[in-house]
Chains A and B, each alone.
Chain A
Amino acid sequence: MEPVLLANIHRSDSHTLSGYESTGGYNAYRKVLAEMSPDDLKDLVKESGLRGRGGAGFPTGLKWTFLPKNHPGPIYFCLNADESEPGTFNNRILMEEDPHQVLEGLALSCYATGAETAYFYIRYEYPLCYKRLTQALEEMYAKGLLGKNILGSGFNLDIYLHRGAAAYICGEETGLIESLEGKRAWPRIKPPFPAIEGAFRKPTVVNNVETAACVPHIVNRGVAWFRSMGVQPDPNNPRDPGSFGPKLYCLSGHIEKPGCYEAPLGITVNELIQEYGGGMLDGRRPKAAIPGGISMGLLTADEFDCPLDFSGPGRYGCLGLGTAAVVVMDETVSMVDYLHNSARFFAHESCGQCTPCREGTSWSLKMLDRIQAGRGRLIDLDLLLEIGDTIGIIPGTTICGLADGAAWPLKNAIRKFRGEFEDFIKQTNPDGYAETSPVPALHEIHGH
């Protein structure tokens, strides 16, 4: 397909205002401010079927309509640029290479929702993005695209960059809000939802970077164009609103050409690997793939016909499309190592607020530590599955979805590759893998 979101990233000046404007940048912003009301724009985005690109896939226009009508304000807009899901880097590419596209989308989103202050919450680990966005914002103010009475429209908008401090949970929308307010990023119990009571206890919209970047294109090219790409709603599933528009896929792992690729929603894992990624690294055979960031679970090589739309991975026993970050593993990868890596991540990043998540993630890591150290028992696999089923139930037993994200790799890896785990345990612990053997204390295990 013709790239849309990545159309200009090959240009050396794609990160500058002049470079952006030379390709039609800010035309949508100018048009909207001159010709459309905020409600017109809100309706346009709603009709387009744009779904949030941050992981949950919630319809963006619908989210905007949750704001209270005729609220005296202020209404805040938070742009979630805290992408930290392993495998995911699409927002980084957009912010580094085409920051004005993101900022135009953010400004339009603020206009539609009536927000006059936007906080661009950016993860600390992206210093180049921070630098380029700082420059881009200066250019926007200098050109009168931000500030008071923008382009004579009466619309006021200030955008502030706010740097995170290295915590995955800040990508969860209420964790982000708490962090923005200067507190530890503990997600809030909902309701109230941010649209009613968000940042600084005012109505707030939180959207993802890629979601915002889609908005100018919907204005420029129209709803029909946007809906012409992707996957229609599933007639057998009344809860499936379809998956429309272009999507950025992050491809990494054992791939010849890892990278960020733009494709319509619904492309299969196989197509992504072969047509965009240049095939498997060194021609080795694939073993598994993560369909959309580490929290989504696992597809076996037999399941690579899975379509990457918002419903596809769910039909293959995964949590969902998530961030559309596909991590491919070849046949040399040990699933024990993969699952240990995943468990280590979630145990480290759990905010610790909810007991099932805090204890479940750390216990699964301790068990995988022990299995990896050659002291596993077959019963451990059922215990791990029990942890997975206990901490990751939707609707959850925890305030946010981190526990669900931690559960899916556990459930998928053990259910889909159980034989490999059993073989590993029997080989590394031949005398002690029987289910009745006592569990050694961690300090008794060499290296722990």
Chain B
Amino acid sequence: MSTGDRILTDEMIAEIKEFFPRYPSRQAVTLPALHIVNEKLRHVPLQAVVEIAQLLDLAPAEVQDTLSFYGMFPQDKPHGRTRAWVCRSISCALRGGDELLEHMCDEAGIEPGQTTPDGSLTLEFAECLGACEHAPCILANEELHKSVTKEEATKLLGTFK
């Protein structure tokens, strides 16, 4: 089933195996495994799906089925070094969330879901970031940016290298 060289490193495999004792089934490690691979490779290519499936005693289709349900795991190519979600839910929309996303897309020259040609940034919309008191907000990798104006968004874009 495997095609070409192995994608998962020994380190990734060890990290995935650490999750095994937590659950009564190997399949439950699917999301943790996908997160581990995605954090390292910034995407989960098909070959990684095959290798995760082997580790978890699953058919590759079962892992692929799960992966394709969630919005977290790009497959074709890596997301940007910074992955930024701009919230467009009602609380953020009332305070300019949609316009902020449009502004950032214009400035970065990409559409929501796309990555800049230099690979520095992927811009996405979020349905809700759960930070409605700080609307409009942006989650860039692990950092939440609160009550962001267009001017601040422009500055923020400049920091994504």
Contacts and interface: CB of A to CB of B under 8 A. Distances in A.
A164 B71 CA distance: 10
A168 B131 CA distance: 15
B157 to A, nearest CB: 20
Interface string A254-287: 1000111000000000000000000000000000
A398 interface: no
A16 B32 CA distance: 26
Given A86-B91, A252-B91, A294-B90, A166 B70 contact: yes
B93 A182 contact: no
B70 A181 contact: no
Nearest to B24: A200
Interface in B75-111: 85, 88-91, 93-95
A232 B46 CA distance: 57
Nearest to B22: A160
A225 interface: no
Interface in B48-62: 56, 62
Contact of A325 (B22, B24, B62, B132): B132
A83 interface: yes
Given A87-B89, A200-B25, A342-B90, A167 B71 contact: yes
A259 B144 contact: no
Contacts of B127: 84, 86, 168, 345, 348-349
A184 B61 CA distance: 12
A163 interface: yes
A161 to B, nearest CB: 10
B47 to A, nearest CB: 19
A200 B25 CA distance: 8
Contact of B28 (A74, A84, A180, A254): A180
Contact of B128 (A86, A162, A164): A86
Interface footprint category on A: 35 or more
A183 B27 CA distance: 8
A317 interface: no
A124 interface: yes
A167 B31 CA distance: 12
Interface magnitude class on chain B: 35 or more
A127 interface: yes
Query: Which of B90, B132, B142 has the most chain A CB within a 10 Å cutoff?
Result: B90
Contacts of B139: 125, 127
Interface string B132-147: 1111000100111000
A179 B91 contact: no
A88 B30 contact: no
Nearest to A125: B129
A294 B130 CA distance: 13
A132 to B, nearest CB: 12
A123 B35 CA distance: 13
A163 B132 contact: no
B105 to A, nearest CB: 15
B29 interface: yes
B132 A162 contact: no
B35 to A, nearest CB: 6
Interface in B8-23: 22-23
A349 B34 CA distance: 21
A183 B85 CA distance: 24
A89 B31 contact: no
B99 to A, nearest CB: 12
Nearest to B58: A182
Contacts of A165: 31, 34-35, 70-73
Contact of B71 (A74, A89, A166, A338): A166
A181 B130 contact: no
A160 B62 CA distance: 23
Contact of A181 (B28, B65, B88, B90): B28
B132 A87 contact: yes
B24 to A, nearest CB: 5
B133 A258 contact: yes
User: Which 6 residue pairs are nearest across A and B when measured between Cβ atoms?
Assistant: A182-B30, A184-B69, A86-B89, A165-B70, A252-B132, A182-B27
Interface of A: 74, 83-89, 91-92, 123-128, 158, 160, 162-168, 179-185, 200, 250-254, 258-260, 290, 294, 325, 327, 329, 333, 337-338, 341-342, 344-345, 348-349, 351
29 contacts: A74-B24, A84-B127, A85-B128, A86-B132, A87-B132, A123-B130, A128-B144, A158-B22, A160-B23, A163-B31, A166-B71, A166-B72, A182-B27, A183-B27, A183-B30, A183-B65, A185-B69, A200-B24, A252-B94, A252-B135, A253-B94, A253-B132, A254-B94, A294-B89, A333-B94, A337-B93, A342-B90, A344-B88, A345-B90
Interface of B: 22-25, 27-32, 34-35, 56, 62, 65-66, 68-73, 85, 88-91, 93-95, 126-135, 139, 142-144
Given A125-B85, A341-B93, 7 more contacts: A127-B139, A168-B127, A252-B133, A253-B132, A258-B133, A337-B93, A344-B88
